[in-house]
Amino acid sequence: MDEKVPELLDLTKKLLDLSKDIFEESLTPHESLERINALYSVFLRVQMQEALRFGYGAYYSCYHGWGHGGIGASRSIYEILLDIKYINQDETLKEERFTRFLDHGDEYLYHKMRIILESGQTVSQKDQDKYTNAYNQLKKKYNDKHKQEVDSNVEKANATPKHRPYNWAGIDLSEKVKMVNLEQFHQLYKNLSNLSHVSIGATLATIADSTENQIEMDLSLYPSPIHCFLVLKVMFTCISGILEEYMTYFKIEYSDHPILENLWKNYQKLLNE
């Protein structure tokens, strides 16, 4: 295990616990907001909640040395940060992007319903009609808009993409990353992605020794502390970024939580040692 991991574990746990406290203290039972603002408020709280769930899962995996178990969770936390930053990247486009995100929710529920039906489970006729109607309206909305723009000779670069399953932003991941200036950090995400899939690298890594006619393999199950440093590095930075977006939106003062600045300073100092 990397010698910095124990201290990084300690800093990450403190960040998670503080983020949890800030999250729980900021919850209010009722809010009187316009619909789009109310939905965004719910969205941000759900994203913070999900980031903390993934965060604690990754932390406890790494605490016990199972770094591999935290890879998927830390990737998900990065994706949460990326979505939030992309929605907020341009104030003039924020409502449109957030609306697309909500539309994606209708699409997701429709596909989820189809999967449940195909598995033999029961879905009420009321829910079937609800999700199917929402999905059909969604396809028509984006296909009609795209057709109107094509007929009006809107430049392809500015045109609305046709309805594409599972792509709420309408652009690929690399474009989104460039727009929110996370290109340097994105390489860590790529590294995690390579680790999370059974790749040729993982296959070759199991070969302990080989000769022309014999291959010796190491397929034993054991903790993977070698991955803990990367998982914790990604998680700490992304939880910090999500928390910053959360505190800014809900007008939570940093002066009320001075430990945050110390945590970040200690984190940077640890990485630079």
Could you give the percent of the chain with pLDDT greater than 70? 86
Q: Same domain for 80 and 187?
A: yes
Q: Same domain for 135 and 187?
A: no
Q: Same domain for 186 and 70?
A: yes
Q: Same domain for 68 and 197?
A: yes
Q: Same domain for 60 and 2?
A: yes
**pLDDT number for residue 164:** 66
If phi over 0 gives left and psi between -120 and 50 gives alpha, with beta otherwise, what is residue 199?
Answer: beta
Q: pLDDT tens across 122-169, in order?
A: 889 999 999 999 999 988 888 888 888 888 887 766 777 676 666 788
Give a three-class secondary structure readout of 230-260.
HHHHHHHHHHHHHHHHHHHHCCCCHHHCCHH
Domain count, the chain: 2
- Domain closes at, from 174, 195, 230: 174
Q: pLDDT tens across 3-25, in order?
A: 899 999 999 999 999 999 999 99
- Which of 8, 52, 10 lies closest to 27 in space, CA to CA? 52
Q: Same domain for 139 and 6?
A: no
Q: Residue 210 belongs to what H/E stretch?
A: strand 207-210
Q: Residue 201 belongs to what H/E stretch?
A: helix 200-205
**pLDDT number for residue 193:** 84
Whole-number Å distance between alpha carbons of 171 and 161: 8
Q: Same domain for 148 and 216?
A: no
- Domain closes at, from 174, 209, 228: 174
**pLDDT number for residue 55:** 97
pTM metric for this prediction: 0.84
On the CB side of 129, how many CA atoms lie within 13 Å of its CA? 3
Q: Please, which residues have CB within 8 angstroms of residue 115's CB and are 6 or more apart in sequence? A: none
189 pLDDT tier (thresholds 50, 70, 90): confident
Q: Same domain for 84 and 170?
A: no
**pLDDT number for residue 211:** 61
| Strand, helix or coil for residue 27 | coil
Q: Same domain for 272 and 184?
A: yes
- Domain closes at, from 129, 144, 174: 174
Could you give the percent of the chain with pLDDT greater than 90? 51
Q: Same domain for 85 and 185?
A: yes
Question: Could you list the residue range(s) of the whole structural domain that residue 98 is in?
Answer: 94-174
**pLDDT number for residue 142:** 85
- Which of 188, 223, 217 lies closest to 62 in space, CA to CA? 223
219: pLDDT strictly greater than 70: no
Q: Same domain for 160 and 196?
A: no
44: pLDDT strictly greater than 70: yes
Q: Same domain for 75 and 193?
A: yes
Task: Yes or no: say if 159 and 146 are a contact pair by the CB < 8 Å rule.
Answer: yes
Q: pLDDT tens across 80-134, in order?
A: 999 999 999 999 999 989 988 988 888 899 999 999 999 999 889 999 999 999 9
**pLDDT number for residue 148:** 87
